[in-house]
């Protein structure tokens, strides 16, 4: 999966980064370290981080959820926009101690580390715990970017956890372009294609599939 917006020439992408994003130094260094990682394509594109940060600001979000944290770039992009209030929080779900150690190292350099509540566990367990803890409807924003065959379950839990008027963003909805003709043996792409079809007709949300990075679907929970 590409972590640069699909279909942009290298020159236009470079122009976008130079004139369309303003990435703090700590995020640039985190991105550059992650680019040397064997799974670097799991990192979101900087233009996507910038876009999600703007969305979260527009929502006036205080409580946000992230499913799939990896080395922490997207969490940092979002957490930086949260207000300095006691309830400002980003609950970050990931299964990897190894990857999230990189995340923690960079988060600690910033003043938002205390706002990020990293839960190392299968995300479904964490989401179910939040629901059992009466936190349904208490989040403003959720970002889903983890194992693709579980996306539908993450989406359903997120729909319960965000408030009416809250936003769910789902990453990699293009699957590198493969959704137009999912290979029979590619379970992940087939799962995303099925979810794209489901969300397009989902009466509970208002939807826009945005062709940024590898396709970012925005689903706004109806009031």
- Of 62 and 214, which CB lies nearer to Ca ion in the complex structure? 214
Report the nearest approach of Ca ion to the CB of residue 76 (Å): 15
Q: Segment near Ca ion (CB under 5 A), from 96-104, 125-133, 169-177, 192-200?
A: 169-177
Q: Is 145 in the site for Ca ion (CB under 5 A)?
A: yes
Q: Segment near Ca ion (CB under 5 A), from 28-36, 128-136, 154-162, 172-180?
A: 172-180
Q: Is 43 in the site for Ca ion (CB under 5 A)?
A: no
Is the sign of the CA dihedral 94, 143, 156, 90 positive or negative?
A: positive
Report the nearest approach of Ca ion to the CB of residue 87 (Å): 28
Burial label for 209, CB within 10 Å (0-12, 13-18, 19+), is middle
Nearest to 100 by CA among 51, 39, 46, 55: 39
- Of 52 and 127, which CB lies nearer to Ca ion in the complex structure? 52
- Of 71 and 126, which CB lies nearer to Ca ion in the complex structure? 71
- Of 46 and 62, which CB lies nearer to Ca ion in the complex structure? 46
CB burial of 65-78 (b: ≥16 within 10 Å; e: otherwise) equals bbbbbbbbbbbbbb
DSSP state of 91: E
Q: Is 171 in the site for Ca ion (CB under 5 A)?
A: yes
- Of 42 and 91, which CB lies nearer to Ca ion in the complex structure? 42
Render 9-75 in DSSP notation, one character per residue: -HHHHHHHHHHH----HHHHHHHHHHHTSTTGGGSPPHHHHHHHHHHHHHHT-SEEEEE--TTSHHH
Q: What is the largest CA-CA distance in the chain?
A: 49
Q: Which of 50, 150, 172, 188 binds Ca ion (CB under 5 A)?
A: 172
Report the nearest approach of Ca ion to the CB of residue 83 (Å): 27
Q: Which residue is nearest to Ca ion (CB)?
A: 171
Bridge pairing between strands 216-221 and 205-210: antiparallel
Q: Is 94 in the site for Ca ion (CB under 5 A)?
A: no
Q: Which chain residues interact with Ca ion by CB under 5 A?
A: 145, 171-172
């Amino acid at each position: 999966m590409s972590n640069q917006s699909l279909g942009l020439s290298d020159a236009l992408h470079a122009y976008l980064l130079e004139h369309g994003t303003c990435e703090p130094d700590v995020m640039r260094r985190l991105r550059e370290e992650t680019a040397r990682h064997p799974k670097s394509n799991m990192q979101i594109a900087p233009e996507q981080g910038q876009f999600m940060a703007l969305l979260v600001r527009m929502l006036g979000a205080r409580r946000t959820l992230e499913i799939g944290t990896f080395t922490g770039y997207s969490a940092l992009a979002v957490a930086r926009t949260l207000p300095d209030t006691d309830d400002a929080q980003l609950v970050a779900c990931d299964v990897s101690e190894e990857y999230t150690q990189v995340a923690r190292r960079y988060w600690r350099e910033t003043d938002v580390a205390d706002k990020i509540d990293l839960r190392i566990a299968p995300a479904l367990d964490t989401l179910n715990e939040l629901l059992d803890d009466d936190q349904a409807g208490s989040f403003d924003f959720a970002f889903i970017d983890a194992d693709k065959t579980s996306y539908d379950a993450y989406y359903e839990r997120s729909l319960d956890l965000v408030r009416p008027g809250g936003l769910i963003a789902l990453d990699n909805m293009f699957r590198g372009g493969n959704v137009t003709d999912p290979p029979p043996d590619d379970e992940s792409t087939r799962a995303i294609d099925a979810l794209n079809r489901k969300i397009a007709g989902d009466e509970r949300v208002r939807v826009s599939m945005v062709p940024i990075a590898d396709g970012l679907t925005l689903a706004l929970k109806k009031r």
